[in-house]
Structure formats: structure tokens, C-alpha cells
């Protein structure tokens, strides 16, 4: 696959559905947030050792989901292109919830607020969680601006980002645990 070069030099880009829009467009903005989230997740996976190959694969699965979400967000409502896109299925949401359960099963109960940090892998997971929440806000805003509230939700994107944020919080705690680094609790 070759990369397009130069068509956006003047601050205009193409949506997947073909429209030329400014790069500050809310749809482009939402895609950018999802892209940033995927990049941070990549950093988290890269910081994990080979001993956690299963977790790395799990994170890559999320990154794959985020590409599908980005494609959906980059397509205007009503475009025939959307018929080609794969939404987040209820089954996939359940898989995220199952993964969350697996992570939490090995964690001690949460006794207080945590300060993001600890091992570098946990720190990356916390950053990913906050970027995920920002992406969620952008998608919500986009849906409202486009007058299509409920569409992104119905396609599973908002529920997915909501579940993913929770998963990433658990992932951060799990990373600290497997690295032997205690979570940093808030002393008040």
C-alpha cells in the first residue's frame, strides 16, 4: 500500500467518502484522537517484554479495532462507503469485557484513588486511558454536531471507547503488578 503525499499540503484532506474538508474538521479531529490512542497503545505494547506476548497481541487487537473505528469516523453519514465498513459488534464488546475481567481477576481490590504511573508500561496504559477518554468526547461531540447522535453509538463506537477506557485502567494496574511495581496510591 502506497502513501498519498502532497494532497494535503494546503490544509485540506479527503474523507474516506471522498469529501475534501479542512484538517480542522470535527471528523478529522476525531480520527486524529483515535490515531493518537492507537499510537500510545503501540508504545505500551512495545515497552512490554516478550514474556507478555499474549498481552501485546491483545493490544494489537485493540489497535486493529481502532483502525476500523477510524475508517468509520472518516466517512460521512449517508455515504455508500459506510456500507462497506465493519462496525464494532456486540461480540467484540463482550470480548473487551471478558479481557477486562481477566485482568481484574488477578488484581487486588482498589482501596483508593491511584496516581498514574509506576512502571513505564503502566504509565503508557494510563496515558492511553486518558487519550481514549478524549477520543470518546470527540466522537460524542461529532455525533452531536452532525445531528446523528446515536449513530456512532449504535455502531458500537461510543460503547467500545467507554469499555476500552475501563480496560486500560485495569491494564495499567496489571502492568504494574506483573512488573513488580506497586500502584501509586493517592495520599490525599
What's 48's DSSP letter?
S
Among 46, 49, 64, 106, binds other proteins (CB under 8 A): 64
98 belongs to the binding site for other proteins (CB under 8 A):
yes
Q: Taking the CB of residue 38, how many other CB atoms lie within 10 A of it? A: 22
Determine the Cα–Cα distance for residues 34 and 15; give it in Å rounded to an integer.
Answer: 15
Q: Which of 52, 177, 165 is nearest to 109 (CA)?
A: 177
**Which range of residues in 17-25, 126-134, 145-153, 178-186 is near other proteins by CB under 8 A?**
17-25
4 belongs to the binding site for other proteins (CB under 8 A):
yes
Determine the Cα–Cα distance for residues 145 and 138; give it in Å rounded to an integer.
Answer: 10
The residue written with cell numbers 471522498 in the block is 18
Question: Judged by CB, which is closer to other proteins: 6, or 108?
Answer: 6
7 belongs to the binding site for other proteins (CB under 8 A):
yes
With left for phi above 0 and alpha for psi between -120 and 50, is residue 119 left, alpha or beta? beta
3 belongs to the binding site for other proteins (CB under 8 A):
yes
Question: Judged by CB, which is closer to other proteins: 4, or 111?
Answer: 4
**Can you give the binding site for other proteins, defined by CB under 8 A?**
1-7, 10, 12, 14, 16-20, 57-58, 60-62, 64, 71, 79-81, 84-85, 95-96, 98-99
Amino acid at each position: 500500500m502506497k502513501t498519498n503525499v502532497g494532497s494535503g499540503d494546503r490544509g485540506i484532506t479527503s474523507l474516506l467518502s471522498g469529501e475534501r474538508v479542512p484538517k480542522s474538521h470535527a471528523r478529522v479531529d476525531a480520527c486524529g484522537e483515535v490515531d493518537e490512542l492507537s499510537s500510545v497503545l503501540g508504545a505500551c505494547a512495545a515497552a512490554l517484554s516478550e514474556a507478555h506476548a499474549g498481552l501485546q497481541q491483545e493490544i494489537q487487537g485493540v489497535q486493529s479495532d481502532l483502525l476500523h473505528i477510524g475508517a468509520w469516523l472518516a466517512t460521512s453519514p449517508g455515504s455508500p462507503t459506510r456500507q462497506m465498513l465493519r462496525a464494532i459488534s456486540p461480540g467484540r464488546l463482550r470480548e473487551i469485557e471478558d479481557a477486562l475481567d481477566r485482568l481484574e481477576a488477578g488484581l487486588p481490590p482498589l482501596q483508593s484513588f491511584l496516581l498514574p504511573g509506576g512502571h513505564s508500561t503502566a504509565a503508557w496504559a494510563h496515558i492511553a486511558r486518558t487519550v481514549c477518554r478524549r477520543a470518546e468526547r470527540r466522537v460524542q461531540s461529532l455525533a452531536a454536531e452532525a445531528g446523528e447522535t446515536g449513530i456512532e453509538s449504535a455502531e458500537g463506537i461510543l460503547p467500545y471507547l467507554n469499555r476500552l477506557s475501563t480496560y486500560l485502567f485495569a491494564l495499567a494496574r496489571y502492568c504494574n503488578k506483573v512488573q513488580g511495581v506497586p500502584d501509586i496510591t493517592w495520599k490525599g
